[in-house]
Structure 1
């Protein structure tokens, strides 16, 4: 039961971190709501552009290292010495939530504008695309196993004494047409904005680069787990955009 409660805490905390990140990225909407912190605003004193850029780049790298290293099988084996397997996903969510909070709290704005859409109708369409990115991301988690992915199924099985299922290779719904719809959702979220500042561009480029690296490492692990089945899937199905070899 304590493990289940911890997993619920991790799940809810991650949900709050995701909401904070959504508001952080959507700078014009957050500014309109009077929020003092977003990708183009901070409570910290203004820094020189080069120093701010270096801080922001370091935050993105730090986030990427945490997110990627903790997901690797080798790290999970090392963590098994102190953390039960059924709680490892929950611990991963807690660490990710902390890193998202650190990134938001210490981000240094670079508010100079690269583009700004003035037409209200066009801006509304872009915000609809931004919302679609979040919808795609969340929907894609349910097309595999949302509660397994976010660490709730594992402690529930342990609490109820249920057997651990074997790894299952699933290609349902959108996964028949793209290998990584969750990452596609993230890319839409990063780039769909009617107001692109230098800081937002740095964030979008850095996070997009992390996604490319993440796909490489994730697919290496999937091939190690599923072998030829995943190689054939990767050959037939594009990674991010249906109908295109990317």
Structure 2
């Protein structure tokens, strides 16, 4: 049991380390020097494929070593939880569609008021929550209708990683959009959907 938890934690830390390096501005600057403007069209698809491929070993180890069950939610509550997970799974693709300019490498490497940084352009899901990826990830994880010891450990560590990543992402957005983003932070909550006029 202890060895399976250790293997899971090591897989998660390896994923998080690689994910953090590839998502860093330093790595993006390196790619921009190497690829030029093509980095904007190549980065997100490549990053998404890398994320899926590097999470597969963790998923496999967790599948093979789930650990003892802590609970299994009975019907009909389980289907309500699965419905919540499906709703959250719809949010992430919408977030990409509602703010494609936030994910272009050239925009992320620019400062406030520059043509490359662009304007914040709040629309869609971003009117209600500043970090829809954090929200959807947390909902998908914590509405899982069963829980094992190993799954709980991975979910706790992943929640911490996602939260820290969200803080880092917010600091980047402030660097990209400046006061425009700071004003947005005052109106819209980062995780809990709400909107203040």
Taking structure 2 as the reference length, the TM-score comes to: 0.80
C-alpha distance in structure 2 between counterparts of 1:103 and 1:176, whole Å: 34
Q: Helix, strand or coil: the match of 2:181?
A: helix
- Structure 1: distance between partners of 2:57 and 2:122: 35
Q: Is the 8 A contact 2:91 2:125 kept in 1?
A: no
Q: Deviations over 1:203-244 (max 9, x none)?
A: 211221111111111111111111111112112211011249
Instruction: Map 1:108-187; keep pairs closer than 5 Å.
Output: 109-118=65-74, 120-145=75-100, 149=103, 166-187=117-138
Does the 8 A contact of 1:141 with 1:182 survive in 2? Answer: no
CA deviations on 1:174-202 (whole Å, 9 max, x unpaired) are: 21221011221111101112211112212
| Inter-CA distance 188–142: structure 2 relative to 1 (3 Å threshold) | same
**Matched residue count:** 182
2:23 aligns to what SS in structure 1? coil
What is the aligned partner in structure 2 of residue 94 from structure 1? Answer: 49
State the alpha-carbon separation in 1 of the partners of residues 118 and 134 from structure 2.
21
More helix by share: 2
Query: Aligned partners of 2:104 and 2:56: how far apart in 1?
Result: 18
Is 1:57 aligned to 2:9, yes or no? Answer: yes
Once the two structures are superposed, the pairs formed by residues 28-67 of structure 1 within 5 Å of their partners are 49-67=1-19
User: What RMSD in Å do the two structures reach over aligned CA positions?
Assistant: 2.6
Unpaired runs of at least 5, structure 1: 1-48, 152-163
Of 76-85 and 230-239, more deviation after overlay is shown by 76-85
- Structure 2 residue aligned with 1:197, among 126, 148, 152? 148
Q: Is the Cα contact below 8 Å between 1:111 and 1:198 reproduced in 2?
A: yes
